[in-house]
Structure 1
């Protein structure tokens, strides 16, 4: 009986450790650090980023680091919605090193993988998949990072998959980006992660 109870308890602990965890609590920026002078704030349970007077790059960076994970975010672009979801990243000031799952206006490679301050575009989605982006409405992006393989989905459809040793060898933080140039506004909600 004790052995059975122990097995059940261990199973519960193991399941809990792989459960989906909220990175954004819907109330404030707890668990995150703002990098740059652009605006990040919470309004009616939504996380909002928008250009500030400097019109530069800005980031909201997780306090924790992650290796293998499945990240799910919902986003809605307003104005010029050029943004991104970084992973395995590190940052100094507003200079970020790592990889980005692109979040951009229609026909600008949302779901593609870009390496900042490195090799640039590594893979873009097929042209016909661009139409999956719902402009002015909520979209769901999923990024799965396991071993050397990263896969992205947009609104339930796989956008790209990439096998890359450099990405697999890295570890780092999650970061949401606001692009430079001004006039950018993006809303986020349900930022959740499951460690693998």
Structure 2
């Protein structure tokens, strides 16, 4: 009985230590407006309302990027997303347009590569694992990205799906959301949060 009690205490202590080390995520999207973000010239594709960021390509289908005003070095980014209509091709830019974490269907490969890194010169150097079983097509999904140095790790709905070390990523820069050009599509984001790391 004493041994069981000791094990339980050690387990709880370990959990508390782990939780203490987990940085607190802070909102970078107010849910009401786009304060803290660099507004694109054409704002018709982006709309904030009641806690949700609505993203939809307009008739011109030129696509658009929405960038944070602040730049970051090492951080954890987390957001919920809901796939909308059309062929959804979106993603999260990491520090620049060199490295992106894909959300939805790859325009070049025509299949779901959610969680995989897209680098223009390398295309998809690695692919996230098990995403077809994890992605919820008609419900909210949660993507978490940990960026440390040149290495980023991605979790989808609580499951780690990819780690990659990039030689193309700059040391610091803003975080961006992408609306891919050429597609008739929509996607929604909520609970967009970030925690800076040492």
Q: Decide which of 26, 29, 38 is 1:21's aligned counterpart.
A: 26
| TM-score, normalised relative to structure 1 | 0.80
Tell me the CA shift for residue 122 of structure 1. Answer: 2.1
- 1:180 maps to which residue? 181
Tell me the CA shift for residue 55 of structure 1. Answer: 0.3
Give the distance between the partners of 1:36 and 1:179, measured in 2 at CA. Answer: 16
CA contact (8 A) 2:51 2:191 kept: no
Q: How does 1:12-91 map to 2 (within 5 A)?
A: 19-35=24-40, 37=42, 39-79=45-85, 80-89=87-96
Q: How does 1:1-196 map to 2 (within 5 A)?
A: 19-35=24-40, 37=42, 39-79=45-85, 80-89=87-96, 97-105=97-105, 107-116=111-120, 118-126=121-129, 128-167=130-169, 169-196=170-197
1:61-99 per-position Cα deviation (integer Å, ceiling 9, x unaligned): 11011110000010001113221011111xxxxxxx221
| TM-score, normalised relative to structure 2 | 0.79
Displacement over 3 Å in runs of 4+: none
Tell me the CA shift for residue 36 of structure 1. Answer: 5.3
User: Which of the pair is proportionally richer in strand?
Assistant: 1
Tell me the CA shift for residue 129 of structure 1. Answer: 2.9
- Count residues in correspondence: 170
Structure 1 unaligned runs (5+)? 1-14, 90-96
Give the distance between the partners of 1:36 and 1:51, measured in 2 at CA. Answer: 14
Give the distance between the partners of 1:20 and 1:156, measured in 2 at CA. Answer: 15
Give the distance between the partners of 1:189 and 1:165, measured in 2 at CA. Answer: 31
Structure 2 unaligned runs (5+)? 1-19
